[in-house]
Amino acid sequence: MPRRAAAPSRLLRMVLLLTVVAAVVLTVALYGGSLPGLGDTAGSSDVDRGAAPPAAAAGGAATTGRAPVPSPDTPAEVPATTTAAAPTESPAPSPAAAGPTSTPAPSVQPEPARGAPVPPPAAAAAVPPPAAVPPPPARAALPPPVPAAPPPAARAAPAPPAPAAPAAAPGPEGQVLALVNAERTSAGCAPVSADAGLAAVARAHSADMRDRGYFDHVTPEGLDPFARARAAGIGYARAENIASGQPDAAAVMAAWMSSPGHRQNILNCQLRTLGVGVATGSGGPWWTQLFGA
């Protein structure tokens, strides 16, 4: 069936081609005055010699040589050729020609999704790595409190009671330390530990009060307990108790525990170290307690 359908199509195209060639040849003959019967003999011979070659050239090998030079008997074909030439323009797009035009249409459509790689989403602006947070500056040492008063800043909750501090050197100073820890244990505070640096500053102050005949937390030069401790290289002194005239450790502890301010220093759970200094002499002894953090 496909072969039978193709044969009429080829025949139709051949007929159309022959018709067009005949029309062209006839038109050239009419406008050139070369048609036999129109003009002189010379014109007629020109048609014989000149019209035939254009027919052969126009037909060429593609027309299979069937287009004869129109004879004088074929002028009636001119209107038929012209009328047939008009409708030939509508069937010119044959099914075979129309088919391919619709087929490549999809192939023309670009397929960016297959060819070009999908561009990655725009990356967010590079954010530089966060600068290292500088460590908080070390807290400045608290300004020294009023002599013999506890530090103003509250400290963290006390740690569980530590083992009892080792026994101090025998003597009045060690006895005062032991009595202080007994009072603190009764109040629920951790015991203080003996501190040699604080004890040296306390002894020096007791001896200075004895030697220069004054009784105060501040020296005649205006040095309070914390200034005296700093001068000795100690920056953790926090409170001081002094006394004069009590003959022994029990007596001086009883006097301190009877005074609200001195008692508060002894039972301050935030204080962890203690240095005791005693100086004997006429009008004495002189007692000094210097507490530290």
Strands 237-244 and 273-279: unpaired
| Count of alpha carbons within 13 angstroms of residue 101, beta-carbon side | 6
Q: The whole model's pTM is what? A: 0.45
pLDDT in tens, 239-259: 999 999 999 999 999 999 999
Mean pLDDT along residues 145-154: 51
pLDDT in tens, 196-226: 999 999 999 999 999 999 999 999 999 999 9
pLDDT at 65: 43
pLDDT at 23: 87
**What CA–CA distances, in Å, run from 19 to 15, 95, 185, 259?**
6, 21, 134, 142
pLDDT at 22: 87
pLDDT in tens, 86-106: 443 444 444 333 333 343 444
CA 204/CA 208 separation, integer angstroms: 6
CA 195/CA 193 separation, integer angstroms: 6
pLDDT at 35: 52
Of 199, 202, 193, 197, nearest in space to 272 by CA: 193
